[in-house]
Amino acid sequence: MSTEEAHEPLSARASASVALLARSRRPTADEVAAVPWLNRLEGDARQRATDDLRVVGVASGETICRIGREPTFWFGVIDGLLKMSNDTARGASMTFTGVPPGGWFGEGTLLKHEPYRYNIQALRRSLVAGISVQTFDWLLSHSIGFNRFVMLQLNERLGQFIAAREIDRLTQPDQRVARSLASLFHPALYPGVGSLLRITQQELGYLVGLSRQRVNVALSTLADEGLIRIEYGGVRVLNLAALRSYGV
């Protein structure tokens, strides 16, 4: 926990979650359909999860989870783009990953019932869904389908962070952009993305740690090689396997 967080009153640490809950609403049928794990639940488990589900719009730059705060909800992205980051000892921000549509995050923190060790912030206006920690715990105790989903999430997340460490060691910008872009098209972690990711060059630059101009050069290179196609407001992947192994 940072010095600032350590001196933050407990009431202030909880205020963000309270504010999000106060602004939240019941999801529409289309929003419920966009929750990837609901179709794994049956009977009472599905009903309880659906009844507890809330959605809320968050503004660009708004923080959903903050280091040192106790988790009260398990969150997922219906639409938009979030980033997971931490602060280094020198005060700089270090981005771990982006969270595009279909991505649910924080299950490890909820399982351990410990404070967040990272920040989750919206890179653009986004629609976020969530269920309470009480419902999360109940589903773990009563639903085999939910347990299987969470186990898959944890396993895939481990692989994702191992890959992220490898990306951090890459010095060639085109490789960094290719591998980072590929990580956002993970079909298990981010099933809502499909083959087209709505992302700007500036947003990708935030996630990769490069300037917008350098990201633009890398994307043009990848497009010339037939791996992606740059479309209005986003990037379409044409060869995901090649992106994942780019530069090898």
Domain 172-244 annotated CATH 3.40.50.1820: no
Residues in the chain: 248
* Alpha-carbon distances, residue 162 vs 30, 96, 159, 191 (angstroms): 34, 11, 5, 20
pLDDT at 91: 58
Which residues of the chain fall short of a pLDDT of 70?
1-17, 87-93, 167-170
Side-chain half-sphere exposure of 245, counting CA atoms within 13 A: 4
Asked if 167 and 218 touch (Cβ cutoff 8 Å), the reply is: no
pLDDT at 103: 95
Question: Is residue 129 packed enough to be buried (19+ CB in 10 Å), middle (13-18) or exposed (0-12)?
Answer: buried
Give the type of residue at 225. Answer: E
Distance, in Å, from the CA atom of 228 to the CA atom of 224, rounded to the nearest integer, reads: 8
Side-chain half-sphere exposure of 208, counting CA atoms within 13 A: 31
pLDDT at 15: 58
What are φ and ψ of residue 14, in 5° steps?
-90, -10
pLDDT at 247: 78
Query: Structure pTM?
Result: 0.83
Give CATH 2.60.120.10 domain extents, the chain. Answer: 3-158
pLDDT at 170: 66
Side-chain half-sphere exposure of 243, counting CA atoms within 13 A: 26
Asked if 140 and 87 touch (Cβ cutoff 8 Å), the reply is: no
pLDDT at 14: 52
Residues linked to residue 63 through DSSP beta bridges, in sequence order = 121
pLDDT at 95: 77
Q: Tell me, which fold does domain 3-158 have in CATH?
A: Jelly Rolls (2.60.120)
Give CATH 1.10.10.10 domain extents, the chain. Answer: 172-244
Reading the block at residue 222, the tokens are 């990848």
pLDDT at 20: 84
pLDDT at 89: 54
